[in-house]
Structure 1
C-alpha cells in the first residue's frame, strides 16, 4: 500500500472482527483499556449501528487511530512517508501489556 498502512489495517480488521462478536460487557471493559481502544470502540459502534463493518468504516477507524498514535509518538508511529510500523507496537498502545 502506498500509504504504509498494512500494520494498522491488520490490527483494525482483527480487532473489528473480535469486537463484533463480543457481548456489551466485554466491549465496555475493553474500551477502558486505553485512549486508542476507546477511539476504536467509538468507530466500531458507529459502524455497527449503521450498515455494519464496511471497508470505508474500517478505513475511518484506521485513520483515526493513526492520527492519535502519531500525535502521541511520531517517531514510533510515523503518519506520512515510506516508513512502516510494527503491529505489536500498535497493539501495545491499544492494550498495554500490564493490563493483559
Structure 2
C-alpha cells in the first residue's frame, strides 16, 4: 500500500466479476427491491473481509450502501438480532473523503 494508514482489503468478487451496488443506471429508481438486495450482498462481502470501512468513488454507491446499512440497523432494532456480519456496522466513505482524512 502506498497510502500510510490504509490497509486495503478486496472483496472476493472484484474487477470483471464484481457486483454493482444496485443503484446505478436507474436501477434504484425502477427496481428498489433489487437495489436493496444488491446493496446488502455487497455489504456482506465487505464485512467478510474484516474491513471497518467500505470505500467507493461512486456517489450512487455511497447512498445505496448507506440505505442498506440503515435497513439492517432497523431490522436489528426490530428483531434484537446482531446483523454486524451482514454489514450493519460498516462505515461508508467516498474515496476523496478517505484520502483527505489519511493524508
Same fold (TM over 0.5): no
Which structure has greater strand proportion? 2
Structure with more relative contact order (C-alpha pairs < 8 Å, separation 6 or more): 1
TM-score by length of 2: 0.31
TM-score by length of 1: 0.31
Which structure has greater helix proportion? 1
